[in-house]
Amino acid sequence: MKISIIGCGNMGTAYARSFRKYGLVQAEDLCMVIRNPERRSQLERFGQVLTSIGPEVQASDLVIIGVKPQDFASIAPALATRLSPDQVVLSIMAGITLAHLKEALGHANVVRAMPNAPAQIGMGITAYATGAELNMRQTLMVEQLLNCTGRAIHLGDEALLDPVTALSGSGPAYFFEIVRTMIEKGIELGLPAHVSSALVKQTMLGSFHLMEHADRSPEELIKAVMSKGGTTEAAFRVMQEEDLAGTLGRAIGAASVRAGELGR
């Protein structure tokens, strides 16, 4: 299989690294198109590095678009001239719809995917929607490639990518915000910074694994930690008074609305 990646920042590089790590593509069959030539030396160990969309891209079975959505217009005309009908184009750009991809590239075989930041260490989750023209073989190829950055979930309805973006796409940032807030509060309450950081990070890690292994719902796990008149109950009273659940829900709703706006 031959693969081209247009735009090798955080995510594009993660794909290049994972494809090579799992042997899904040979170095000579992986082509990375970058804008800043200074990045060449960091990427050359994965495959061939180009500074413009050349004929090598035309020979690829799969072309991944890993630029920011606002940069799509600057690459679309050049990419459109390099596409042949059998190729699959996979976009990870937030908010760029399948219809927009098809129109801007003049190409039918398109896939729109929403990965998330942990894909950079092979622990991401990617939801994706395919254009109606994609056949089963092409869909399986995409799923296999996405799986090497974590898990992949096929969506029958492209519109679901808006809530996906709000949950798993932006989700790591919500998690980091909670971690950051807890660490800062620990320091404010008198803990040395490294102790507060270790306590919070290990608590998050341990709680995740407990949730995965305990076969109990998040509600049941909360009840198991909370005792009547205790510390957790005191914390939850404040969270309820301040409507933390409502705030988080509204934040996720706003992200989903914004994802829809970006697609229009």
Ligand X SMILES: NC(=O)c1ccc[n+]([C@@H]2O[C@H](COP(=O)([O-])OP(=O)(O)OC[C@H]3O[C@@H](n4cnc5c(N)ncnc54)[C@H](OP(=O)(O)O)[C@@H]3O)[C@@H](O)[C@H]2O)c1
- Provide the binding-site residues for ligand X, judged by CB under 6 A: 6-12, 33-36, 66-69, 71, 74-75, 92-94, 114-117, 169
Q: Which amino acid is at 139?
A: T
CB of 208 to ligand X, least distance (A): 19
Q: Which is nearer to ligand X, 74 or 135 (CB)?
A: 74
Query: Which of 101, 49, 50 lies closest to 73, judged by CA?
Result: 101
Handedness of CA 62, 67, 73, 79 (dihedral sign): negative
Distances (CA, A) of 215 to 125, 151, 218, 244: 21, 21, 10, 25
Q: Which is nearer to ligand X, 125 or 186 (CB)?
A: 125
With beta carbons less than 8 A apart as the criterion, state whether 146 and 115 touch: yes
CB of 117 to ligand X, least distance (A): 4
CB of 198 to ligand X, least distance (A): 25
CB of 224 to ligand X, least distance (A): 33
Query: Which of 50, 43, 49 lies closest to 17, judged by CA?
Result: 43
Q: Which is nearer to ligand X, 31 or 196 (CB)?
A: 31
Using alpha carbons only, what angle is made at residue 116 by residues 91 and 165, rounded to the nearest 5 degrees?
A: 75
Phi, psi of 98, deg, nearest 5: -60, -40
Q: CA–CA separation, 261 vs 152, rounded Å?
A: 24
CB nearest ligand X: which residue? 9
Helix (H, G, I), strand (E, B) or coil at 31: strand
Q: Which is nearer to ligand X, 6 or 89 (CB)?
A: 6
CB of 205 to ligand X, least distance (A): 20
Q: Which is nearer to ligand X, 92 or 196 (CB)?
A: 92
Q: CA–CA separation, 264 vs 100, rounded Å?
A: 9
CB of 13 to ligand X, least distance (A): 7
Q: Which is nearer to ligand X, 66 or 150 (CB)?
A: 66
